[in-house]
Amino acid sequence: MGNESSKTKPGKTINSLGLRVGPSQSTIQRHVDNARKSRILQLKSCGLKSIPHALNELQDIIRSLELSQNKIKEIPSSIGQFSALKQLHLSENIISVLPDEIGQLNSLEILNLQSNKLSTLPETIVGCTALKTINISANSFSQFPIAVCYLTSLDTLNLAQNTITALPDEVIPFSF
């Protein structure tokens, strides 16, 4: 005979249980170690609430950083030290402000910030002299981010699904 307390009682069955709290430190470290070789780090859809400190080990080598579909609220100022970074994907997080240090990413070509809580870009973004594509669609912009007018390499700017109602005079010289 078994222990009575271990038997399942009718109506008390658990059908599913979710306990996702994000990747373990060892999982993150394994991805960081792999990124040393590939120069690409993907931690998409894994419940991150902040950018792991372990990523700082990759500042001089990483070229593509994919942290989309997480719960990241802020970007640390250390992002400016990722000197080799060409692609930064942070879509579908809850970021409301970018640090001024983002402008130190002068090798950055693609910046994807779609579906966040941004309402402005820092003026320092003009330091991203290689920037070709910015996706800031589905954010909280009510005014056109004038700083993007001074990005000389910019080919593609996606501002869809914002509440911008007027374009400033700085935009007039551009062809669409």
Comparing 132 with 4, which gets the higher pLDDT?
Answer: 132
Please tell me the distance from the alpha carbon of residue 157 to that of residue 72, in angstroms, as a whole number: 23
**To the nearest 10°, the Cα dihedral for 117, 49, 53, 134?**
-30
Residue of 54 and 116 predicted with greater confidence:
116
Residue 2 predicted with pLDDT over 70:
no
Q: What is the mean pLDDT of the chain?
A: 89
Under CATH, which number does the domain 44-171 receive? 3.80.10.10
For tokens 């009575």, name the residue: 4
Q: What's the confidence (pLDDT) of residue 18?
A: 39
Q: Tell me, what's the pLDDT at 19? A: 41
Specify the range with the lowest mean pLDDT, choosing from 23-32, 35-44, 166-175. 166-175
Domain boundaries, the chain: 44-171
Higher pLDDT, 129 or 15: 129
- The CA-based dihedral angle spanning residues 22, 40, 32, 62, taken in that order and rounded to the nearest 10 degrees: -120
Cα 94 from Cα 138, distance rounded (Å): 12
